[in-house]
Every structure is written in structure tokens, then in C-alpha cells.
Amino acid sequence: MAILFRLASCLALIAAIVAGTVDAIRSVAETAVVMTPLGIAVASISPYWLEVVEALERPDGSLAVFQPVLRWCLQQPAFAVFLGLSLVLWMGGYRRARKRRLA
């Protein structure tokens, strides 16, 4: 199970690096700091993901309890959300190193 957490952590870290690189390139091109929100980054992947983001933002959805948290997450910079997710997944898959005994 730990290997799955570490693999997911690696994929989230790769997504964070890609999102950060895209934001850095856009910042240099526009000579201003550009940070793409997670909602816009996910919605720009495909029309299906646009529908998913819109469904998460509807107040009558089945996830109405988590609505404030979801909206807050969708407004944060994509690279920061993916970095945080990567950290949480890495902590979930972390295993202590075994202590070696000298004979």
C-alpha cells in the first residue's frame, strides 16, 4: 500500500513541477507574476474536466457539505495544491528505516 502512496506522490509532484513551469514561463512572457488557479488549470485539460469543475461548484450537488473547502482549493494556485497533495501522499507512504543491530 505504501508503494501506491509514493507513486501517487510522485505523480502529484510531477504535476506541480509542470504547473509551476508553465506559470513561470507565462510570468516571464507577461513581465508580471502569473499563478493559474487549480480550477482553471483542471478545466483547461478537456471538456470533461470542465464539466467536473462546474459540477463541484454547484451548490445543489451531493458534496454541498464540502462546498467551501472545494471552492477554496479550486481558487488556489495549481502548483501549490499539487505540492501539498504530494506532501500528504508522501507522508502516507513513508516508512521508517529499520535499525540495524550489530552482532
DSSP letter for each residue of 73-92: HHHSBHHHHHHHHHHHHHHH
* Band of pLDDT at residue 21, cut at 50, 70 and 90: very high
What pLDDT does 68 receive?
84
- The answer to whether 66 touches 55, Cβ cutoff 8 Å, is no
Question: Which residues have C-beta within 8 Å of that of residue 15, sequence separation ≥ 6?
Answer: 78, 82
Each residue's pLDDT tens digit, 32-71: 999 999 989 988 888 898 888 888 777 776 667 788 888 8
Task: Say if residue 102's pLDDT is above 80.
Answer: no
Of 74 and 103, the structure prediction assigns the larger pLDDT to 74
Task: Answer yes or no: pTM beyond 0.75.
Answer: yes
